[in-house]
């Protein structure tokens, strides 16, 4: 219940309401972009400062290893399940969306943990960055395979999407570079840098997050329309997959003995779905798929579910199991 009293969450709910009643309330795209970059920069700095204090440990290696494993296994499982009811291109696009991560969901989860004084490692920001790309690459491979099969059936020659190009775009994406660069700055500058940057990266953070979640609420309400007429399996997957992915992450964290805070964040990352990085790539790499399908699922259903109910639920489950 406490989550519903958080101003940032309340602004998100208000944004959903405003979008649902077709209000003309709108955050200009340039401001939304700035807020997104600010949050990533602040998160990276915070992670870098924490890493400077803790140093690199075996626990960090295990956490990052679990993150990479989840980023590979989740889209594979998702594709195999979705392929039973959807065509290869739709299945690959949705699997990539749910195999990747949502930075805003992760940032909201870190604020939730801070609110309840649950400690977590600064390296978890790096775990988020590592989980961004594997799903995209797998989706392109699967889509290329489907194109080859279709072209053989129809005797049409089709040029497959270049994996090297996708890799370059994934690793040089501005948001991802900013996150890792900010973490490096925090790691190098240490305590002195933390004191200097506190007014920017700490004091302003909560207000900026609330403003950004207002925009996300507006977008969520408007994107759910993209699911009209879609198979029931997509709606079921949008709710069922976050829960099952979070439980898989919890099982792995329990197996390897990770602490509570890191476990919750890995559960949140596994449960989240991308609505920025993956759609941006898929629009070009999988033109056969209507963006309204995966955007409607990730931003219209999964993102609100995780922000409002998922994060507290994953926290409760982790406390019960660990």
pLDDT at 169: 61
pLDDT digits (tens, 9 = 90+) for 64-118: 999 999 999 999 999 999 999 888 888 988 999 999 999 889 999 999 999 999 9
Q: What pLDDT, on the 0 to 100 scale, is given for residue 246?
A: 97
Phi, psi of 204 (to 5 degrees): -85, -15
Q: What is the 3-state secondary structure (H, E, C) of 147-215?
A: HHHHHHHHCCCCCCCCHHHHHHHHHCCHHHHHHHHHHHHHHHHHHHHHHHHHHHHHHCHHHHHHHHHHH
Q: Which CATH code for domain 29-149+158-321?
A: 1.20.1530.20
Structure tokens at 56: 């690199």
Res. 155: pLDDT tops 70: no
pLDDT value, residue 74 = 96
pLDDT (tens digit, 9 = 90+) per residue, 221-248?
887 776 777 778 888 999 999 999 999 9
Q: What is the pTM of this model?
A: 0.85
Identify which has the larger pLDDT, 26 or 254: 254
């Amino acid at each position: 219940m406490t989550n519903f009293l958080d101003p940032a969450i309340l602004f998100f709910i208000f944004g959903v309401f405003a979008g649902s009643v077709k209000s003309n309330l709108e955050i200009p795209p340039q401001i939304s972009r700035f807020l997104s970059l600010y949050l990533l920069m602040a998160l990276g700095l915070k992670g870098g400062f924490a890493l400077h204090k803790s140093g690199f440990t075996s626990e960090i290696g295990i956490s990052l290893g679990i993150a990479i494993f989840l980023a590979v296994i989740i889209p594979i499982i998702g594709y195999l399940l979705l392929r039973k009811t959807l065509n290869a291109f739709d299945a690959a696009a949705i699997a990539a969306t749910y195999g990747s991560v949502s930075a805003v969901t992760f940032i909201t989860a870190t604020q939730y943990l801070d609110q309840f004084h649950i400690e977590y490692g600064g390296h978890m920001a790096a775990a988020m960055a590592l989980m961004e790309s594997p799903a995209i690459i797998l989706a392109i491979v699967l889509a290329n395979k489907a194109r080859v099969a279709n072209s053989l059936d129809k005797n049409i020659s089709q040029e497959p999407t270049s994996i090297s190009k996708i890799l370059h775009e994934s690793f040089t994406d501005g948001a991802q570079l900013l996150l890792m660069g900010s973490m490096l700055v925090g790691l190098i500058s240490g305590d002195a840098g933390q004191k200097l940057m506190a007014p920017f990266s700490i004091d302003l953070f909560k207000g900026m997050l609330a403003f950004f979640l207002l925009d996300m609420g507006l977008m969520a309400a408007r994107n759910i329309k993209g699911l009209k007429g879609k198979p029931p399996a997509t709606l079921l997957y949008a709710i069922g997959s976050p829960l099952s992915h979070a439980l898989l992450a919890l099982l792995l964290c329990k197996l390897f003995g990770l602490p509570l805070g890191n476990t919750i964040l890995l559960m949140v990352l596994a449960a989240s779905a991308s609505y920025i990085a993956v759609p941006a790539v898929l629009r070009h790499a999988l033109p056969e798929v209507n963006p309204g399908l995966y955007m409607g699922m990730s931003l219209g259903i999964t993102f609100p579910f995780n922000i409002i109910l998922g994060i507290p639920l994953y926290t409760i489950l982790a406390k019960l199991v660990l």
